[in-house]
Amino acid sequence: MSFSNLKKQSSLGSLTSKLVKQVEKMNNAGGGGADERLWKPEMDKTGNGYAVIRFLPAPDGEELPWAKLYSHAFQGPGGWYIENSLTTIGGKDPLGEYNRELWNSGRDEDKETVRKQKRKLSYYANIYVVQDKANPQNEGKVFLYKFGKKIFDKVMEAMQPEFEDETPINPFDFWTGANFKLKLKKVAGYWNYDSSEFDRPSPLLDDDDALEQIWKQEYSLEAETAPDKFKTYEQLENRLNMVLGKKSPAQRAQETETEYDGYRQEDTSVEDELKRSAAKAQNTFNSPDITPSAPAPVVSQSEDEDDALAYFQKLASE
């Protein structure tokens, strides 16, 4: 799609209807090191954070301005399990099947284990950073932004307002979209985005040439759920068995010396692996509290809790 067609579809409002239909389709269907492409908000010393960002249209050649990803991250007797879930691309996932067995047992302790091992729902989108006082060097640049269901729901609310006196907008539109005021605070020890909101609709910039240059800087979103982002069922099953302690010490030692997720190397100790895994878990959850010596915290009332429990209830009924 050309840039001129992008603007034409903006004026017709056709992009918004396409995105809404895609969300409905998704809902019906179910389900080492810092990445410099990713932008993250930061809290100040008072425990609050504030930034202004703009969600951008789909990259050239792609249909959607977001990508949806399911993943797992928990610590078991044999180490950390931090993997993308094959359910993202409509496949069977060994942890999903194991969780279904636990859920169907009817025992409360098994359901609690499932909650600890549940899927985490994340989205990726391209954003333009309008204001970032914590890191002003980010302003005026394009990044990938990884966010959860809470913020995605706010995007959907902007596109499908609850009340008749509210005008729907496409937050991903250059010309008729709106800046997103991201307001971050801690509630009960967890990051909370409830106060975040969209500003009034307005063009991101008044210069179409500049907007086109921003559009050309966007990152591929389809690449975030491409096949190379997922391990095979067998690889995930082997890793899960190791984490759950279902393999012998000799088998665990042998697997520790094999390549794992791009950052394992030969002769790597289990302790070093856990440290790297913990660092990756921290990056995944934006949480400073995850360490290799402590079990992963149970996140109650998190933004993806309802989605995860609905998923397991659906599995239990199948």
**Per-residue pLDDT tens for 190-241?**
889 999 999 999 999 999 999 999 999 999 999 999 999 999 999 999 999 9
Chain centroid to CA 291: 21
**How many C-beta atoms surround the C-beta of residue 229 within 10 A?**
14
Confirm if 196 and 41 have CB atoms less than 8 A apart. Answer: no
Q: Give the integer Cα–Cα distance in Å for 103 and 313.
A: 8
Confirm if 127 and 39 have CB atoms less than 8 A apart. Answer: yes
Q: Give the integer Cα–Cα distance in Å for 299 and 297.
A: 6
For residue 269, give the 3-state DSSP assignment. coil
Q: Give the integer Cα–Cα distance in Å for 86 and 93.
A: 5
Q: Give the integer Cα–Cα distance in Å for 80 and 240.
A: 9
What is the reported pLDDT for 318? 52
Candidate from 19-23, 75-79, 226-230 with smallest mean pLDDT = 19-23
pLDDT at 31 over 50: no
For residues 242-265, b (16+ Cβ closer than 10 Å) or e, as one string? Answer: bbbeebeeeebeebbeeebeeebe
Domains, the chain, ordered by start: 1-318 (3.90.198.10)
Half-sphere exposure of 105 toward its Cβ, with a 13 Å CA cutoff? Answer: 14
Candidate from 2-16, 68-82, 137-151 with smallest mean pLDDT = 2-16
> Helix 270-285 vs helix 249-256: angle between axes, to the nearest 10 degrees?
70
